[in-house]
């Protein structure tokens, strides 16, 4: 399957590449939440979390830790958001598994937190029973 990210990996679409290895690559997001926002992308176009092998996921998280250190060291961000949009309804635009690493600064006023709900009486325990793993 071809995606915009497979085209970037092959060099058919320009990008600012930050990393490349046998399992994944990293680029700057073209429309960043904050400048320095990067994407860690699997080389294989796994469409979502469930289709991505565990060893590739583990590798992506290790690289996210390196990317986080780089952003803190060079851009002096105060924090980062690690975001995975997993499925179209979650906001995933490109069906090719990737992890966003977004630098954040105190007072940057980037509101990327969703609105929240509250449980009714007993509902939280019910959900807990169904979702144990």
For residue 10, how far is the Cα from the chain centroid?
A: 21
Residues 114/71/27/54 CA torsion (nearest 10 deg)? -70
- Asked if 4 touches ligand AMP (CB under 6 A), the answer is yes
Radius of gyration of the chain (CA): 17
Q: Which CB, 13 or 124, lies closer to ligand AMP?
A: 13
Place of tokens 């926002």: 37
- Asked if 27 touches ligand AMP (CB under 6 A), the answer is yes
Q: Measure the CA–CA gap between 32 and 35, rounded to whole angstroms.
A: 6
Of 37, 98, 100, 109, the catalytic one is 98
Quick check: is 37 catalytic?
A: no
For residue 107, how far is the Cα from the chain centroid?
A: 22
Instruction: Classify residue 88 by its DSSP letter.
Output: G
When binding is defined by CB under 6 A, the residue of 23, 94, 104, 108 that contacts ligand AMP is 94
When binding is defined by CB under 6 A, the residue of 92, 104, 108, 110 that contacts ligand AMP is 92
- Shortest distance in whole angstroms from residue 111 CB to ligand AMP: 16
Catalytic positions: 98
Per CB under 6 A, residues contacting ligand AMP are 4, 13, 15, 27, 29-31, 39, 85, 91-94
């Amino acid at each position: 399957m071809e995606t915009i990210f497979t085209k970037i990996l092959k060099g058919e679409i320009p990008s600012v590449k930050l990393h490349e290895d046998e399992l994944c690559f990293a680029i700057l997001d073209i429309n960043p939440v904050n400048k320095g926002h990067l994407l860690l992308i699997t080389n294989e176009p796994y469409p979502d979390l469930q289709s991505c092998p565990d060893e590739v996921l583990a590798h992506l998280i290790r690289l996210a830790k390196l990317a986080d250190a780089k952003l803190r060291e060079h851009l002096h961000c105060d924090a980062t958001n690690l975001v995975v949009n997993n499925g179209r309804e979650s906001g995933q635009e490109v069906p090719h598994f990737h992890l966003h690493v977004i630098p954040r600064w105190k007072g940057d006023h980037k509101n990327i937190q969703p609105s929240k709900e509250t449980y009714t009486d007993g509902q939280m325990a019910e959900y807990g029973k169904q979702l144990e793993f």
